[in-house]
Structure 1
């Protein structure tokens, strides 16, 4: 993730789809129901009102409508199991749980009061055991290097093949550091030198020797001022000297959080704005970013350029993964079975014909490989590359270097509260960069 403030939008929206279990009846005509042509958010809100009123039939109806519009979010699958259990639809509830188990995610279903009525149903024991087993650690990634400063709190990572240096951005200090096995650690962009705040994503354009970085004002930044809240910028640095070449501001009023980005082969930079639900485009040589894609996007995060160069994959923290045509800016969505969880994705990189997603909005936290069909539009298979391992506490961004993936598993941003102070009972510890072979 990026920061508490930067992530406030995706976290709040993801919470929309993670309601609590409650108590039961088939219908309640006096509970408001959203119109059939309402948006998924309106359906969700109507469903939550019904859930709080104990109107399980209307809650289920709303969940189905949400699912029709945004796909099988894992929280929808789990809540449909809860709603059907409350309604006495035991077989349906068990099938929803079976689908949830297949996502590789975990939940304490044995202690979930909404599911109490189906615990003696055929298949329950095997499903509950599988959901519990999903919490077991998976993976064999190795530590590539460790950051020397426990308060650095990294978010983004990039690589320069010419010099062999890794670039890491700091949420806490607001600077950028470099690391190489030969040269060790070096300060690349000093904190606050260029009026920056928390430094988020970094991306290397080796042709123009430009290191792109996004920055946003957030309480994670040690120099945060409330008056700066909602401000964000895209910065272009000379990759060799660290000098700031140019600063780009997003257009439009309101809060902005320029978080993740990707550089296309032609040098065009695409930047996601988690607050505005838009992807900006900055063409090589242009002086301003322009809004590029927004239709249907809720909280865009990581961006990866497709192998054909004509499309972008954009991780939406709530909805899954969008496909954006680079010419028309038209948005469609990667299709996946209800047993595939592709929400809660922060970092996203392409690996061959597939995608590698870093999910910090699911339990357990994980790094997954998503196999795509020949058209690049449907997930045909998936597997966890790293899941639930001790260091995988808050995975953020990754970069492909040769045949390996280097990623940040434990940024540490979740240890800092909205007031900018380390949360009681927690301490900041040195973060790591891990490495694993590409699938």
Structure 2
């Protein structure tokens, strides 16, 4: 589930346990950077920005902040070199390209700065290796997550604004599967076909006008009968959570990500038990590894972590060469790791190749990207094919979930890409 980085920072809890969480470490670094800026201490600012860059595992956002610090210190050479590292990742910095970030105005006369901007423009060029599989005719859905029903060869797709799950076929036929019992936005969905179950979440997103105000900040895990759409179970989530993403264990147990609170939960019986890891700031859709003893967890700010479910230890993929932040959906097919990134510029769908240990990236390929804000969200691997929601519509909404003035929702497209 996409959550803006600014919103993540705004909701970080104030009470600290004895061991600081990743969120608290992140907020501490942000506070020290603000203090250094206020004091005009450029060297402390640069040192803390470098610390933040390591903590966020090479995030392009952290690189941009470091480049800004170099400019403030009058170090144009290192500023340009740092911006080139963003360009090396195939990304761009929108505020530099449109001139709105005045912090970089002093670089206008630097001989290499124009070259950086040109690299950014080249990186914004459209790539589309997929083909449209389904166009959803109702533009008001705001689609979020998708999974595949092998028994009917159809897709189940969640709707944020219409609070329901729809069933869509490759023949274009679209029907309602079921609705949110509480009329809340529906986000995550995963099918457990062998057990005839559909797991989904409903989340009363804080501040959303499409959710009742008295319910804001609540989440629930839902279980439906796959054939009939009947609601079988509803498990209330912990207070102040946004259980927006999910993966199933080999036994069909949901593991849920709270992108707002920074935690992961495992549903055992009727109990949502927290996975005791302090490594995540905003976990998104995990991917199960072969054997089921570990999951790959994309963190919207920190990149991609490999979480051992037994030891609850986390190791991180190297994001210094390939940007791994801003990932909403993550899917593993053999050694191919497919990312839907709506927190990068440009937004994109990316295919990575991993080594046998699934801990090192050996190659990368862009499947889909556009300079337009299309907001790809989630996808599903079906055999050797990847289907993904290419244009969810999140970018057309304001912070309250209302369509921005002058904007309009468009029909979502489900795209198809062959993984062969």
Report the secondary structure of 1:97's partner residue: helix
1-side partners of 2:206 and 2:407: how far apart?
A: 17
* Of 92, 95, 103, the match for 2:89: 103
* Of 136, 139, 145, the match for 2:134: 145
Report the secondary structure of 2:330's partner residue: strand
Measured after TM superposition, the shift of residue 287 of structure 1 is 2.4
Report the secondary structure of 1:215's partner residue: strand
Report the secondary structure of 1:289's partner residue: strand
2-side partners of 1:169 and 1:308: how far apart?
A: 28
More deviation, 66-75/212-221: 212-221
Q: Which residue does the alignment assign to 1:276?
A: 261
Q: Which residue does the alignment assign to 2:46?
A: 60
Q: Which residue does the alignment assign to 2:17?
A: none
Question: Is the 1:172–1:220 Cα contact (8 Å) retained in structure 2?
Answer: no
Give the TM-score normalised by the residue count of structure 2.
0.89
Q: Which residue does the alignment assign to 1:71?
A: 57
* Cα shift readout 1:242-277 (whole Å, capped 9, x = no counterpart): 0111111224xx401111111122222211112221
1-side partners of 2:295 and 2:46: how far apart?
A: 34
* Cα shift readout 1:310-354 (whole Å, capped 9, x = no counterpart): 2101111111111111222222222232x3211111111112213
Measured after TM superposition, the shift of residue 364 of structure 1 is 0.9
Let me know the Cα RMSD of the aligned residues: 2.4
1:179 aligns with 2:168: yes
Measured after TM superposition, the shift of residue 206 of structure 1 is 1.1
Report the secondary structure of 1:39's partner residue: helix
Q: Which residue does the alignment assign to 1:260?
A: 245
* Cα shift readout 1:361-402 (whole Å, capped 9, x = no counterpart): 111111111222222122233221111166x61111100112
Measured after TM superposition, the shift of residue 195 of structure 1 is 2.2
1:363 aligns with 2:352: no
1-side partners of 2:38 and 2:90: how far apart?
A: 29
Specify every segment of 5 or more residues in structure 2 that has no aligned partner in the other structure, as ranges. Answer: 12-23
Aligned residues: 405
More deviation, 110-119/323-332: 110-119
Question: Is the 2:187–2:202 Cα contact (8 Å) retained in structure 1?
Answer: yes
Measured after TM superposition, the shift of residue 419 of structure 1 is 3.9
Specify every segment of 5 or more residues in structure 1 that has no aligned partner in the other structure, as ranges. Answer: 17-37
1:12 aligns with 2:1: no
Give the TM-score normalised by the residue count of structure 1.
0.85
Q: Which residue does the alignment assign to 1:335?
A: 318
Measured after TM superposition, the shift of residue 129 of structure 1 is 1.6
Q: Which residue does the alignment assign to 2:151?
A: 162
Question: Is the 1:172–1:222 Cα contact (8 Å) retained in structure 2?
Answer: no
1:322 aligns with 2:305: yes
* Of 35, 50, 70, the match for 2:36: 50
Measured after TM superposition, the shift of residue 222 of structure 1 is 6.8
Q: Which residue does the alignment assign to 1:243?
A: 230
2-side partners of 1:407 and 1:255: how far apart?
A: 29
More deviation, 410-419/264-273: 410-419
2-side partners of 1:156 and 1:418: how far apart?
A: 20
